[in-house]
Amino acid sequence: MIRILDKFRLTPAGSVADTQPHDVSAILPPARQEWGVADLTLDGIVLLDQQLAIVDANPRALGFLHTSLSALSGYSLWDAVSQDIASQHEEAAELALAVSDQYVFVAHESFENSWVEYTLRRCAAGYIVNLREAGPAQKYQRLLEDSKRYNQLIFEANPNVMWVFDRASLQIFAVNQAAIRFYGIARKTFMSLGMEALFPEGEGAELLHSLHTGKEGQSEMRLCRQKIRDGKEVLVELAWSQVKWDGHQAVLVSLADISDRHMADTVLKKSNAELQQTLLAQQAELKNVRHDLLTFTQAVSSDLQDSLHVAQGFATRLAEKYSPVLDDQGLHYVRRIQASISQLARLVDDLRTLAQLPLRTGTPEMVDLAPVCRTLLADLRKLDPDRDVTVELDGSLMLVGNRGLLTIALFCLLDNAWKFTAKKSEAWIKVGLLPGKLPGERVLMVADNGAGFDPVYSGNLFTAFQRLHSSADFPGNGLGLAIIKRVAQVHGGTVWAESADQMGASFFMSLPQALPANS
């Protein structure tokens, strides 16, 4: 802090200062003359040290601040003004005084409902604060200047690279610190350049052409290159806008370096292209594998069916012609042969159905499965006429889907329920439709009071050849539920099952219900 060596204060109004208002050398000791305030003697004057602490003030300044010198001495200037003024101008003053020797602002003094202009100036020993009343015209002028100053500070502190050039001469006359760092050019050198110097040959002309053909206030963004230190060129995203700047018809240029992003995009595009090629190759390979599998399945099923048909014919002929000469053991063997042939034939049919399902999508249509369900149940009763099963069936089972695939899935569900209720004296099967969890979704439900299953293993139910019961208790090949799942997937739906303490089971198949646009 600067020490005041004597107690001489600035002369109040009516003293020597009033007779010689523009010459303070006679009333200021040498220590005070160093502050350089000779041209401000008619105003309030506050003397600050290098840390902006108050060391002296004249009566006019104390009147503006509504306090005494003893109460202010040693305190910061911002402690002497209102909190609103301090919060609004303290940081701005610090930034301004870091790059220039003066900061001016106009503030409203609520104590007297007046406006006061503050001028902070740097001097050898610290700072001088000049306070004067600001009338309405001065107030608005100062506010305008403050606004310009704030804009300049914002421009200077903006992290984006920004520079301004004159539209007529193309001379650069403003540049911010971010631009100096980006281009690696000193500010003084920068301000001597024309805008074309920053562009590779030819690219600056495109921008100028856009300026001449564009309208006042028009802005534009484009990708281009810029020349930085050592002649290196970088790719940037450049935006420009025509503005008025300190009386110039100017162009404000802002840009962002996208070299790294461009490189990353290039690498990403290359990776995507390679991934696309790999995906196409894998899709082609998968298509070939599916074709080979389908061909194999068809060939094997056809050959097996022919062989099974012949074996079944001979077994039937053997049972019919030679049963009188066969003992009970021989007849048992014949029946076992016939049962095994039937089971194998059913397995071949189910395998072929499972393999061909993705090829049988067809066109979705509105289908009522209630008549289909009654027909399938009637067929099951014919195969097992001694069974007494109660069926609860909704009057209508309207669903959108492929009729053939839905019929296959419904048969598998009913056959599964019929099979697992075989040991129930009072068996029942329920078939109905439920609302889905998603909008426009319906759920087909088939429930029974049969053997059920352990919920722990519910995740294995819809996997091919997975069985939770012995084939000796409930015959089957483990493909029925896998077929149901495949039908649901072809329709864009899902399947699941529920069972409580192995007392019955409920199977659900959700199906989206959107019809094609041309239906």
For residues 428 and 460, membership in a common domain is answered with yes
For residues 166 and 139, membership in a common domain is answered with no
For residues 232 and 279, membership in a common domain is answered with no
2: in domain: no
Euclidean distance between CA atoms 324 and 220, whole angstroms: 102
Least confident of 191-205, 213-227, 253-267: 213-227
349: in domain: yes
What is the number of structural domains in the chain? Answer: 4
For residues 331 and 464, membership in a common domain is answered with no
Tens digit of each residue's pLDDT (9 = 90 or more) over 285-338: 877 776 666 666 666 666 666 777 777 777 788 777 877 877 878 878 887 887
5: in domain: no
Last residue of a domain, one of 257, 274, 300: 257
Main-chain phi, psi angles of 424, to 5 degrees: -95, 130
**DSSP H helical segments within 385-467, as ranges?**
403-420
Structural domain boundaries enclosing 34: 16-155
46: in domain: yes
Tens digit of each residue's pLDDT (9 = 90 or more) over 150-180: 888 888 888 889 999 998 899 999 999 999 9
Flag whether pLDDT at 391 surpasses 80: yes
Confidence at residue 302, expressed as pLDDT on a 0 to 100 scale: 66
Flag whether pLDDT at 502 surpasses 80: no
For residues 205 and 276, membership in a common domain is answered with no
For residues 41 and 107, membership in a common domain is answered with yes
Least confident of 68-77, 137-146, 473-482, 497-506: 473-482
For residues 310 and 453, membership in a common domain is answered with no
Tens digit of each residue's pLDDT (9 = 90 or more) over 7-56: 333 333 333 333 333 333 333 444 444 444 434 456 899 999 999 999 99
Q: Nearest 5°: CA angle at 376, between 371 and 381?
A: 125
Match 């000049």 to its residue by tokens: 130
For residues 172 and 272, membership in a common domain is answered with no
Last residue of a domain, one of 155, 188, 203: 155
436: in domain: yes
3: in domain: no
Could you tell me the pLDDT band of residue 1, with boundaries at 50, 70 and 90?
A: very low
Here the CATH number for the domain that contains residue 484 is 3.30.565.10
| DSSP H or E segment with residue 128 | strand 127-133
Last residue of a domain, one of 354, 374, 397: 354
A 10 A CB-CB count for 185 gives: 20
For residues 249 and 270, membership in a common domain is answered with no
188: in domain: yes
517: in domain: no
Least confident of 23-32, 248-257, 356-365: 23-32
Could you tell me the pLDDT band of residue 477, with boundaries at 50, 70 and 90?
A: low
Map 65-84 to HEC letters.
HCCCHHHHCCCEHHHHCCHH
Could you tell me the pLDDT band of residue 233, with boundaries at 50, 70 and 90?
A: confident
For residues 369 and 385, membership in a common domain is answered with yes
Q: Confirm if 491 and 405 have CB atoms less than 8 A apart.
A: yes
Confidence at residue 25, expressed as pLDDT on a 0 to 100 scale: 39
Top-confidence residue, 500 or 170? 170
- Per the DSSP assignment, residues forming a β-bridge with 323 are none
A 10 A CB-CB count for 348 gives: 19
**Mean of per-residue pLDDT scores for the chain:** 78
Confidence at residue 443, expressed as pLDDT on a 0 to 100 scale: 92
Strand-pair category, 389-393 with 427-435: parallel
Mean pLDDT of 218-241: 82
Is 0.75 topped by the overall pTM?
Answer: no
For residues 382 and 501, membership in a common domain is answered with yes
Here the CATH number for the domain that contains residue 135 is 3.30.450.20
Tens digit of each residue's pLDDT (9 = 90 or more) over 484-497: 888 888 888 889 98
Flag whether pLDDT at 198 surpasses 80: yes
Confidence at residue 358, expressed as pLDDT on a 0 to 100 scale: 62
Confidence at residue 13, expressed as pLDDT on a 0 to 100 scale: 33
For residues 378 and 287, membership in a common domain is answered with no
